[in-house]
């Protein structure tokens, strides 16, 4: 089984991957960009670790996973997402994938006690070692943690270099919202709640569902058609793709509208990532994008009022 360095393309990740490859098989994972040439014991892999399927593929066969990736910016043409919320998506995906594929040890390079990733990684149940800070040599400390029994924690002054960052491929849009999860609601319950609420929350809107295909009609025009992807979905993650509609431009396999219940059990997140609008960008930014932001805020207010099981 291999060791995996997450987001290994940064200065710290490259140094750590090179050091670990002296004694271990290493798969260094980066979010985007051209992959470096492999060596005898070091291979490179590209994956979007904010998605559960992407994290599962990246972590398959891993004994130890070193999580260096952290959101520092959102490489989207239009971004409505906090860095902490992107970190939560990343940590939730990695934690779920680590548990599913049988990872034995998680090592994370944390930024302070309020690092949004830590609580979700702990929820996975996979033994966790944490390095906070990293001076004078975080490479040596992280490498030592990889070779040690799980559960080690170390706090040192902050390292003067730069850690790896979450950098999914350059995308048109990135909108992420975080809400309280109504007790007992699954991700699919939240999806269906959203489409039931939408006609009541937005004038001139109607919605229909047929065999996992959700259609939004606005003033008689079929605006968006969203298809639930069973192969990418689970009880805690409902993944929809844009199949058609007057407001949708070209679509890609990377675009998603995802409803997620995090491992903490009390948080729901909705992520629209990679959407291609049909409207010209200057028009989209000051019309459809603003409407989407307002609608998602109002949906969050409605969701917070739901105290019982889904209707």
| pTM score, whole prediction | 0.89
Top-ranked range on mean pLDDT: pick from 97-111, 205-219, 238-252: 205-219
pLDDT of amino acid 251? 66
CATH topology of domain 2-155: Rossmann fold (3.40.50)
CATH 3.40.50.720-classified regions of the chain: 2-155
- pLDDT for residue 300 is more than 60: yes
Span 55-106, pLDDT tens digits: 999 999 999 999 988 776 666 677 788 889 999 999 999 999 999 999 999 9
Mean pLDDT, the chain, rounded, equals 87
Between CA 16 and CA 13 the distance in angstroms is: 5
Mean pLDDT of 259-283: 94
CATH topology of domain 171-304: Alpha-D-Glucose-1,6-Bisphosphate; Chain A, domain 4 (3.30.530)
Please list the residue range(s) of the chain that carry CATH number 3.30.530. 171-304
């Amino acid at each position: 089984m291999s060791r995996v360095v997450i987001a290994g393309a940064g200065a710290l990740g490259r140094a750590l991957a090179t050091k670990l490859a002296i004694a271990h098989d290493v798969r260094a994972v980066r979010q985007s960009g051209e992959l470096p040439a492999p060596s005898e014991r070091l291979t490179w892999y590209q994956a979007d670790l904010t998605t559960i399927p992407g994290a599962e593929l990246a972590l398959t066969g891993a004994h130890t996973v070193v999580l260096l990736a952290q959101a520092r910016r959102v490489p989207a043409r239009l971004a409505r997402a906090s860095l902490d919320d992107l970190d939560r998506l990343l940590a939730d995906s990695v934690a779920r994938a680590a548990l599913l594929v049988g990872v034995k040890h998680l090592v994370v390079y944390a930024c302070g006690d309020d690092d949004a990733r830590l609580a979700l990684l702990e929820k996975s149940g996979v033994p966790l070692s944490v390095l906070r800070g990293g001076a004078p040599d975080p490479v040596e400390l992280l490498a030592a943690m990889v070779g040690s029994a799980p559960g080690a924690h170390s706090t040192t002054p902050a390292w003067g270099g730069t850690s790896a960052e979450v950098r999914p491929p350059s995308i048109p849009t990135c909108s992420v919202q975080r809400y309280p999860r109504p007790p007992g609601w699954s991700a699919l319950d939240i999806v269906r709640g959203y489409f039931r609420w939408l006609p009541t929350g937005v004038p001139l809107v109607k919605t229909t569902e047929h065999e996992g295909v959700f259609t939004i009609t606005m003033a008689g025009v079929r605006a968006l058609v969203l298809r639930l992807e069973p192969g990418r979905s689970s009880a805690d993650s409902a993944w929809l793709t844009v199949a058609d509609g007057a407001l949708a431009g070209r679509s890609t396999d990377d675009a998603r509208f995802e409803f997620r219940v995090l491992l903490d059990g009390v948080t729901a997140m909705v992520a629209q990532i990679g959407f291609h609008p049909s409207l010209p960008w200057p028009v989209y930014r000051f019309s459809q994008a603003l409407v989407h932001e307002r609608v998602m805020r109002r949906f969050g207010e409605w969701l917070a009022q739901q105290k019982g099981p889904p209707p």
